[in-house]
Amino acid sequence: MNHNTRQPASAAELEQSDLYINRELSWIEFNRRVFKEAQDNRHPLLERVKFLSIFETNLDEFIMIRLAGVKDQVASRKTLRSPDGRTAEQQLAAVRQQLAPLVQEVRQYWNNEILPLMSHKNIYILDYEQLDEQQRTAMRVYFENEIFPVLTPLAVDSGHRFPHISNLSLNLAVVVGESFARVKVPPTLPRLVPVPIDLDTEHSQKVAFVWIEQVIAANLSMLFPGFDVWESYPFRVLRDADIELQEDEASDLLEYIEQEVRDRRFGAVVDLAVNPSMPLHIRNLLLNGLEITPQDLTEIDGPLGMGDVMELHSLSRPELKDVPFTPRVPSFLQRGSDMFSAIRKRDILLHHPYDSFNSVVEFIRAAAEDPDVLTIKQTLYRVGSNSPIVTSLLQAVENKKQVAVLVELKARFDEENNIAWARELEKAGVHVVYGLIGLKTHAKVALIVRREEEGLRRYLHLGTGNYNATTAKIYEDLCLFTSEPDFGADATILFNALTGYSRKNSYRKLLVAPIGLRRGVVEHIEREIHLHEQYGNGRLIFKMNALTDPDIIRSLYQASQAGVSIDLIIRGMCSLRPSVPGISENIRVRSLVGRFLEHSRVYYFGNNGNAEIYLGSADMMQRNLNTRVETLFPIDVLELRETILTRLLETQLADTANAHELQLDGRYLPVRPKEGEQPFDSQAYFISHPLFDIDDEDDDTLPGTTISAIPSSA
């Protein structure tokens, strides 16, 4: 029984602004954790460089999307406040205040820690001033042959208007005599230019690089013959890249999205990054030309656009990278058995990247080639380039299957890629649709209809991640293969709604947004509260990428007040504030950031010993619950549910290597092992310990029954 006698907070009290962490500031804390991975000497050196690159590319996207959105709110003079009570102006100021020192800290770490460590491993990043005469001569030859032909200097004077500065572009502001010119650094060339260096047998792997903008700056006289080039200064521009869609006004959605993608490069400037050495008059010239204010300028003492250091990860230095591993291939595929037969025997759950994504590729390929398969229907959100999934869908059409594909054209930064696939699929005869007006289709569903002796049978793949064979190697996700009739019926209803007209909004198994997913999650939380009041054993474990929806947060606060024990594993943004006396004392929030991107969404409800678990595509964010087509699907097999609880969720909650815990004040502190114990890395553990072991030799053996327990040191 629940012996909590404290009076629960009222609905109004649960809306108080101090109970919520600002989502933008929470995101900055997430990216700070990415930076922490770069500082962690558990990782090989080039993996630490990779994390610096990820930090920077994450930051670029945040500025182009989130910061741009806040700036739009300021410009429109909207009076709406964020759940934590801040105006748009206050959010903008707080974000700038948090970002400036963090960005500089990254440069200091690069200079003071990473560069010396790389030098020790015979990898040198040199400034142009450090090159000897022979190396400078080599760089001049490289400039003449590789760089000079693709440069376009643009003068700025009474006869030449200030040029358009494209998004994400790195540029040089060049002072030529009394005039000014802009030179764009070609994005098609390597940012780090190899420099010839003396080799010896002891250091045969020695390599050196110099930044391309420094090579250009040192040879500018060739671009402006007859003029005195006095000085040059690098600068970088980020623009608003969030496409504003008015879909109901578009007669052809594909052409409309194409145009919006083209227009993205003309979005309003959000950030101008410069070095401290740039003089005030050059800064003012850029600010005026870009039509922004000094508040939009970021001063960075170090390289601009450091996402390009990812180029170093391609070096052939395996000892400086993670030890590669081969994803497991389920035994039912290893023996070349019929995949449909295996799925008929039981539901199959896989854990990527530890289990090979080739199982998913094989599922679609087998359907394309099987003469008994009649229909394939699939959602595609992000599939990447050279997609084997799309290749199989095209093959299916050639084999006279009926193929219907929903290609989500609005997948941010994948729009161009998806447009190309949509056109190719349509050209081949695939029925292609682009989703519902006003909604993004984020659900991950593939439905195959097959003719069998007993009649038509539907086979399903339901996942938490994208149908992208490349990212599946580094994204942690779960997926379910099933032929259960109720799942098949729900998938049919869903695809009918996506490709045609349907007012049916009830499903047997699935929770589907925006219709009933929010309501379903809230009702499950409320049931946990009522059961806890009766039996005192309430338990919730949610794993997701982000938690920012105020209604869901309030439901979790209510569960905590009732005494329900709640563990949240949230990789990114979390607006819930844990450990608030009388409100969230029973809630713990952890974030896992490591070698693989934690991407699966898992929702565990204790249900008085009869646990329910849902997996799916939806985070608990307003956009996911209100303006996306999302699915959560239940795990019906008891053994699979027990495996997910004890060998996935509890294993991750035991992590003391990759985990950080959210504090009352919004900071994250690393979770450390107990004294005398070694750090426990759940991701490393999953590489050597399968979550599920599926063996067809014994039809009575269910998945997840042959895995050793987590070591006691965990």
Per-residue pLDDT for 157 more than 90? no
DSSP conformational letter for 157: B
Rounded Cα distance, 112 and 118, in Å: 11
The pLDDT value recorded for residue 713 is 34
Q: In which band, very low, low, confident or very high, does the pLDDT at 620 lie, cut at 50, 70 and 90?
A: very high
- pLDDT (0 to 100) of residue 61: 95
- For the segment 456-461, the average pLDDT, to the nearest whole number, is 98
Mean pLDDT of 108-127: 97
- Quick one: pLDDT at residue 411? 65
Q: Region 153-174: what's the mean pLDDT? A: 89
Helices 23-39 and 45-62, interaxial angle, to 10°?
160
| pTM, to two decimals | 0.93
**Which pLDDT score is estimated for 254?**
65
Residue 14, pLDDT above cutoff 50: yes
> Is 442 part of the annotated catalytic residue set?
yes
Per-residue pLDDT at 203 exceeds 70: no
Mean pLDDT score, 398-425: 84
> By mean pLDDT, which of 198-207, 211-220, 273-282, 528-537 is the weakest?
198-207
Q: Which CATH architecture has domain 511-688?
A: 2-Layer Sandwich (3.30)
Q: Which of the following CATH numbers is that of domain 44-249+269-320: 2.60.40.1840, 3.60.15.10, 3.30.930.10, 3.30.1840.10?
A: 3.30.1840.10
Q: Is residue 326 scored above 50 in pLDDT?
A: yes
% pLDDT > 70, the chain:
91
**Residue in 703, 681, 680 with CA at minimum distance from that of residue 692:** 703
692 φ, ψ to 5°?
-130, 140
Give the range among 248-257, 567-576, 628-637, 639-648 with minimum mean pLDDT. Answer: 248-257
Rounded CA-CA distance 459/470 in Å is 24
Domain with CATH 3.30.1840.10 in the chain: 44-249+269-320
User: Quick one: pLDDT at residue 249?
Assistant: 47
**Pairing mode, strands 601-605 and 612-616:** antiparallel
Domain with CATH 3.30.870.10 in the chain: 331-499, 511-688
**Which of 14-28, 325-339, 499-513, 619-633 has the lowest average pLDDT?**
325-339
Could you report the per-residue pLDDT of 238-255, keeping only the tens digit for each?
Answer: 999 886 655 544 456 666
CA distance 375 to 426: 16
pLDDT greater at residue 367 or residue 251: 367
Average pLDDT, the chain: 90
DSSP-assigned letters across all residues of 217-247: HHTGGGTSTTS-EEEEEEEEEEE-------G
Weakest-pLDDT range from 388-402, 498-512, 597-611? 498-512
Give me the mean pLDDT over the 101-106 stretch.
97
Asked whether 37 and 51 are in contact (CB, 8 A), the reply is yes
Residue 671 neighbours by CB under 8 Å, 6+ apart: 590, 655, 656, 659, 660, 661
Which among 43, 442, 524, 599 is annotated as catalytic? 442
Q: Of 154-168, 394-408, 487-501, 537-551, where does mean pLDDT reach its minimum?
A: 154-168
- Residue 11 clears pLDDT 80, i.e. is over it: no
Residues 27, 573: contact at Cβ < 8 Å? yes
User: What is the C-alpha separation between 565 and 568, in angstroms, rounded?
Assistant: 10
Q: Is the pLDDT of residue 73 over 50?
A: yes
Write down the pLDDT at residue 705.
Answer: 30
Q: Which numeric CATH code is attached to 331-499? A: 3.30.870.10
Q: Which helix (H) or strand (E) is 456 found in, with range? A: strand 455-463
Residue 416 pLDDT > 90, yes or no?
A: no
pLDDT-derived band at 1 (thresholds 50, 70, 90) equals very low
CB-facing half-sphere around the CA of 17: CA atoms within 13 A:
8
Residues of the chain with pLDDT > 90, as a percent, come to: 77
Instruction: Let me know: does 615 contact 687? Beta carbons within 8 Å.
Output: no
> pLDDT at residue 579 above 70?
yes
Q: How far apart are the first and last CA of the chain?
A: 31
Of 117-126, 521-530, 622-631, 700-709, the range with the lowest mean pLDDT is 700-709
**Residue 261 above 80 pLDDT?**
no
Query: What single DSSP character describes residue 640?
Result: H
**pLDDT at res. 264:** 65
